[in-house]
Amino acid sequence: MVRYLYTLFYHLKGGNTMASYKKTKTGWSVRVSRRENGKLKQVYKAGFATKNEAKAFAQEIESSESIGKKREKTFADYFTEWHETYKSGKVAPSTYRKYLHVDKILHDHFPDTTLSDMTRQKYQAFLNDYGTNHSKEMMSEVNVYVRSCVKSALYDEIIKKDFTIGIELPYDRSKTWSVEYLSLDEVKTLIHEATASLDPRYTSAYMVMTAIYTGMRLGEIAALTWNDIDFMHKTISVNKSYSYVQRELKEPKSKSSKRVIAVNDGLLRILQQLRPNGNIMVFVNSRGELPSSNAVNKTLRKLMANCGLKKKNFHFHSLRHTHVAFLLCQGIDLYAISKRLGHSDLTITMKKYAYLMQEYEAEQNKSIATKLQQL
């Protein structure tokens, strides 16, 4: 009797797996073929009494392959593990909240995409979609955190290519606000209004004045003690910061943030008014409290409204930008400004205040042209 051979190719779910069934003298055999990283791998088994038994075996192979795929880490899950390992407890709480925000965004947009399946095209498509209704600042923040995570994956050889290289960063211009600062005349107007409203019982206006004259960050100002102010040598020492989230003193933003700032007599006379409050902390008010960030910004908005200054995006940190603009206008060397701000190098200052640099350059070009005319 001639042996009857029966062969059937049956494609299993998943696309990359295929099973071949053959009728033999002893029953049924099956050969399961699948591609992994471009290479063909096969599993062969014979001796099944029925074709259904052979199918069941093939389906077990398929199931184990599916489980393996499910176990492969998603891009969003890897980002979670990464920031929990390398950022949690190592950055300020306010900064870590930004990582958590980006984490949620990635889980919403890449719920099932594995890290190994991420490509430049997929990442760019995500940026294109998310950028339609988000600001330039938000898009930049997302991209910076993702790029840092991807570099870590490359370093650990989890992925072979950086899918963030060469991407374009789209954003919604209507939601992207430009930094505002005050002109020299506007600064003088604000100082006059703030000076008239000074009352040692309420220290928010004093913090506004300190920011105008020093360019210090709000946390640095709030952390000042009387020991930090050298009235003889006319300097303020920045050696700590106040966390409004944790409500406690902490180390400054960076090593370079520790610095000594030269100040004028006018500011020192203003600060002396707070001595009678009798607290080691300069800006603790008569109730024994430091004004909240919201309270300081509310005071700033009230002062500006009282003297007719309308700036839509102006807030306390804008006073730091105003301080830089004033110093540039006065021809102060950029290196000295960078040190005064507590930046580690000029690159940070130039990048952060690029818009001011361009305006300053335009003014300097006019000055150069005028001086050359004298030749």
Q: What is the pLDDT of residues 179-231, one digit of tens each?
A: 677 888 888 999 999 999 999 999 999 999 999 999 999 999 999 999 999 99
In this structure, the answer to whether residues 219 and 270 fall within a common structural domain is yes
CATH number at residue 125: 1.10.150.130
Lowest mean pLDDT, pick from 171-175, 237-241, 281-285: 171-175
Lowest mean pLDDT, pick from 96-105, 252-261, 288-297: 252-261
Spatial contact of 127 and 169, defined as CB atoms under 8 Å apart: yes
Would you state the pLDDT for residue 354?
59
pLDDT band at 357 (very low <50, low <70, confident <90, very high): low
Tally of CB atoms within 10 A around 32: 23
In this structure, the answer to whether residues 199 and 318 fall within a common structural domain is yes
Residue 51's closest CA among 33, 32, 24? Answer: 24
Mean pLDDT over 110-127 rounds to 94
In this structure, the answer to whether residues 101 and 239 fall within a common structural domain is no
In this structure, the answer to whether residues 91 and 107 fall within a common structural domain is yes
Would you state the pLDDT for residue 335?
86
In this structure, the answer to whether residues 111 and 194 fall within a common structural domain is no
Would you state the pLDDT for residue 329?
78
CATH number at residue 327: 1.10.443.10
Mean pLDDT over 18-33 rounds to 83
Domain finish residue from 55, 71, 87: 71
- Assess if residue 98 is contained within a domain: yes
Would you state the pLDDT for residue 294?
94
pLDDT band at 40 (very low <50, low <70, confident <90, very high): confident
Lowest mean pLDDT, pick from 33-47, 131-145, 227-241, 263-277: 33-47
Would you state the pLDDT for residue 22?
86
- Assess if residue 292 is contained within a domain: yes
- Number of domains forming the structure of the chain: 3
- Assess if residue 110 is contained within a domain: yes
Lowest mean pLDDT, pick from 130-134, 138-142, 169-173, 358-362: 358-362
Would you state the pLDDT for residue 57?
84
pLDDT at residue 333 tops 60:
yes
Domain finish residue from 38, 71, 104: 71
pLDDT band at 334 (very low <50, low <70, confident <90, very high): confident
In this structure, the answer to whether residues 352 and 206 fall within a common structural domain is yes
- Assess if residue 247 is contained within a domain: yes
Would you state the pLDDT for residue 301?
94
pLDDT at residue 10 tops 50:
no
**Portion of the chain with pLDDT greater than 90, in percent:** 51
Would you state the pLDDT for residue 8?
44
pLDDT at residue 308 tops 70:
yes
- Assess if residue 2 is contained within a domain: no
In this structure, the answer to whether residues 166 and 90 fall within a common structural domain is yes
In this structure, the answer to whether residues 33 and 87 fall within a common structural domain is no
Mean pLDDT over 96-122 rounds to 94
In this structure, the answer to whether residues 36 and 130 fall within a common structural domain is no
- Assess if residue 1 is contained within a domain: no
**Portion of the chain with pLDDT greater than 70, in percent:** 84
In this structure, the answer to whether residues 136 and 159 fall within a common structural domain is yes
pLDDT at residue 343 tops 50:
yes
pTM, two decimal places: 0.62
In this structure, the answer to whether residues 64 and 127 fall within a common structural domain is no
Would you state the pLDDT for residue 252?
83
Would you state the pLDDT for residue 2?
38
Domain finish residue from 175, 196, 222: 175
- Tell me which residue range forms the domain holding 343: 184-369
In this structure, the answer to whether residues 258 and 349 fall within a common structural domain is yes
- For residues 270 and 276, what is the distance between their CA atoms, to the nearest angstrom? 12
- Assess if residue 374 is contained within a domain: no
- Assess if residue 265 is contained within a domain: yes
pLDDT band at 176 (very low <50, low <70, confident <90, very high): low
pLDDT at residue 118 tops 90:
yes
Strand partners, 199: 202
- For residues 219 and 179, what is the distance between their CA atoms, to the nearest angstrom? 20
pLDDT band at 327 (very low <50, low <70, confident <90, very high): confident
